[in-house]
Amino acid sequence: MSVKPILASSLIAKEEIGLFEERARKRLRVGTGCVAVDDALDGGFVYGRDGIYNISGATRSQVTETVSFFSASVFLVYGIWRLEGRLKGKRGVRLMWPGLYHLHREISMMISLQLLITHLLASASHNATLIDATGNLDVLKLYRSIITRLSNSNHDHEANVKLATSTLDRVRIMRVFDFEGVVEGLNELIDELEGKNVPKNTIGDSQEEAEDEMLDVGSEEKVEEEKKEQAGMVLINNLSQVLGLLLKNNYAQGQATLTTLVRRLRNTAKEHNLCIVLLSWSVTYGSDQERVSIFESIKARPGLGKSLGYLVDTQLLIDAIPRKAKGKGAASDMVNVIEVIYSGGNHQVGKFGVFDITVDGEINPM
């Protein structure tokens, strides 16, 4: 005996759909301050559920260009090649320009730092943890970027310096050297979030436990409300740095390790209202069947394997595209682009933003 089918639309009321959309719009988001990038991200990254992001950018060898320029003085600042001086007729010099020609993995870090600044300045209760496996984190540059952001709305330099200094008090930096260090840093963070500062052999006071159970409903609601207002950010730089060798030696074990890590991060993000940003390197490929970008000129994909895109909530790719649709891709005609290549539903796959990076690390729309 067959059962008469019913329409799926009849199982959900329009009011429920409207409530879902309203809640989605009201979710706390953190952006970079660049309209082009934030629009591509539907307003910015989210916290808690769906709050795990991976940003992949190219390595040095993938983005270094051979270009012609005139009377250039090339020097290394913060690990990025820059060009100064007047154009004069020399060829074959390898360099990275300010803006697009920063390393794309450096751009990934710059975007992450702008997200971090927005997060910290949004509320005095917001804090952040940076787990750094590269040793490239420049705290002075972070401080200057905070000053620059504050100066856009407040011209009181002394007040900006004071606020920027106090803002750094809410940033914890953990320098690690391998994957075990990442896990240890994460364990320490989780223990702190869960308040596990009591020694293992300590026995709780039964009277204190009984008093805790007698909390009135109003107090419980207040605690929940305060918890919602608090939000944290975790930035791990760089997963490729600590997992690359493991994946090379034993790919299956490396993927299993990565899966365990991301699942744990997901539980932590949900429980403590965190936005978690993972940085990794991208790799080039030769087959069109492996294309992940909507742009024909981009021959890159995340370097930690296809499974990472399905483990995280949103996968972003940073690369470069010709300024003009029919451009030949010359160095002087390329622009930065950030693209959503995978999302579990909180962002729209295929959306992208074109931007430039200033010498001071600010992100500007093109």
User: Span 223-232, mean pLDDT?
Assistant: 63
Per residue in 109-126, pLDDT (tens digit) is 999 999 999 999 999 999
In the prediction, which pLDDT does 66 show?
A: 29
In the prediction, which pLDDT does 14 show?
A: 63
In the prediction, which pLDDT does 181 show?
A: 93
User: Span 170-180, mean pLDDT?
Assistant: 94
User: Span 333-362, mean pLDDT?
Assistant: 89
Q: Which of 12-26, 102-116, 221-235, 344-358 is predicted with the least confidence, judged by mean pLDDT? A: 12-26
In the prediction, which pLDDT does 79 show?
A: 32
Q: What is the mean pLDDT of the chain?
A: 78
Residue 345 binned pLDDT confidence (cut-offs 50, 70, 90): confident
User: Span 8-31, mean pLDDT?
Assistant: 66
In the prediction, which pLDDT does 9 show?
A: 74
Per residue in 266-324, pLDDT (tens digit) is 999 999 999 999 999 998 877 766 789 999 889 888 888 777 778 899 999 999 999 87
Tell me: pLDDT of 92 over 60: no
Q: Which of 50-64, 95-109, 196-210, 255-269 is predicted with the least confidence, judged by mean pLDDT? A: 196-210
Angle at 108 between CA 65 and CA 34, to 5 degrees: 105
In the prediction, which pLDDT does 346 show?
A: 78
User: Span 138-156, mean pLDDT?
Assistant: 94
The full set of domain ranges for the chain reads 29-58+101-196+231-365
Tell me: pLDDT of 96 over 90: no
In the prediction, which pLDDT does 168 show?
A: 97
- For the range 199-205, what are the long-range contacts, defined as Cβ-Cβ under 8 Å and sequence gap of 24 or more? none
Paired sense of beta strands 352-357 and 52-57, if any = unpaired
Select from 3.40.1160.10, 3.40.50.150, 3.30.420.10, 3.40.50.300 the CATH code of 29-58+101-196+231-365.
3.40.50.300
In the prediction, which pLDDT does 332 show?
A: 57
In the prediction, which pLDDT does 202 show?
A: 43
User: Span 187-196, mean pLDDT?
Assistant: 86
Tell me: pLDDT of 260 over 80: yes
| Rounded Cα distance, 101 and 103, in Å | 6
In the prediction, which pLDDT does 365 show?
A: 93
Angle at 21 between CA 18 and CA 27, to 5 degrees: 140
pTM over 0.85: no
Classify 57 in phi/psi space as left (phi over 0), alpha (psi -120 to 50) or beta: beta
User: Span 82-88, mean pLDDT?
Assistant: 36
Tell me: pLDDT of 62 over 70: no
Where is pLDDT greater, at 180 or 291? 180
In the prediction, which pLDDT does 265 show?
A: 94
User: Span 4-20, mean pLDDT?
Assistant: 67
In the prediction, which pLDDT does 120 show?
A: 98
- CA neighbor of 132 nearest in space, from 279, 304, 303: 279
User: Span 334-363, mean pLDDT?
Assistant: 90
